[in-house]
Amino acid sequence: MLNVKGLVKTVPGGRTLFAGIDLALAPGEFVAIMGESGAGKSTLLNLIAGLDAPDAGSVRIADIDIAGLDDDGRTRLRRDRIGFVFQAFHVLPHLDLAHNVALPLALQGREAEESLHAANAMLDAVGLGGRGEAYPRELSGGELQRVAVARALVHRPGLILADEPTGNLDPDTAAHTLGLFVNQVRDAGAAVLLVTHSAVAAAAADRTLVLSPAGLVARG
């Protein structure tokens, strides 16, 4: 699903984040990446998603080299193949939950009814069924994160990128969220790349890697 080879990135100021990262993810694989703050975990996710360009190396998603795509191509790739979960929920405050979750489908050009139907089904699946017409300000942090997860999954992407999805949640809610997150992911058969500080979160993954200036190393 995902194939990264020899990825190099330096930041403005001259510091090299990483030199020559290799990574491969098969469908259905759940990989966690841990590392020190400032090691470049979020940057790595941005590079994989095509939101940033590497200094060297290649990223292939579903066998498509994203370097060969223009900006619109990468955007479309994200829209059709990738699902995002952020640390901050980034839920649009002026849309109700159902519309928020249906956004990726709407961006793909699907009909409103179809998209909202799928969104409400996904809200059901994350345990927020029947609250499709509520607004984000009525929800707690944990509920909002579940909405974000629903949005990441509604269009059945092949690759899911999660950047500290449980960072803002208390341990119980985090565990709960992670659980349904993992269940849903497994059922859909996607590949998952999870960036996190939390060893608990990493434990849910199939394997854990550590990102350091030396590169991406398997964790024991």
The CA-CA-CA angle for residues 98, 107, 192, to 5°, reads 80
What distance lies between CA 53 and its chain's CA centroid?
A: 18
Residue 110 interacts with other proteins (CB under 8 A)?
yes
Residues 86 and 161: their CA atoms lie apart, in Å, by 9
Q: Which is nearer to other proteins, 144 or 160 (CB)?
A: 144
Buried b (16+ CB within 10 A) or exposed e, 58-78: ebbbeeeebeeeeeeebeebb
Residue 49 interacts with other proteins (CB under 8 A)?
yes
Site for other proteins in 59-78 (CB under 8 A): 71-72, 75-76, 78
Residue 11 interacts with other proteins (CB under 8 A)?
no
Which member of 62, 64, 69, 95 binds other proteins (CB under 8 A)? 95
Taking residue 90's Cβ as centre, other Cβ atoms within 10 Å add up to 12
Residues 124 and 129: their CA atoms lie apart, in Å, by 4
In eight-state DSSP terms, residue 109 is T
Q: How far is the CB of 135 from other proteins (least distance, A)?
A: 10
Which member of 11, 56, 67, 112 binds other proteins (CB under 8 A)? 112
Q: How far is the CB of 79 from other proteins (least distance, A)?
A: 2
Residue 203 interacts with other proteins (CB under 8 A)?
no
Question: Which residues in this chain contact other proteins in the complex, by CB under 8 A?
Answer: 42, 46, 49, 51-52, 71-72, 75-76, 78-80, 84, 86, 88-95, 99, 103-104, 106-112, 115, 136, 144, 151
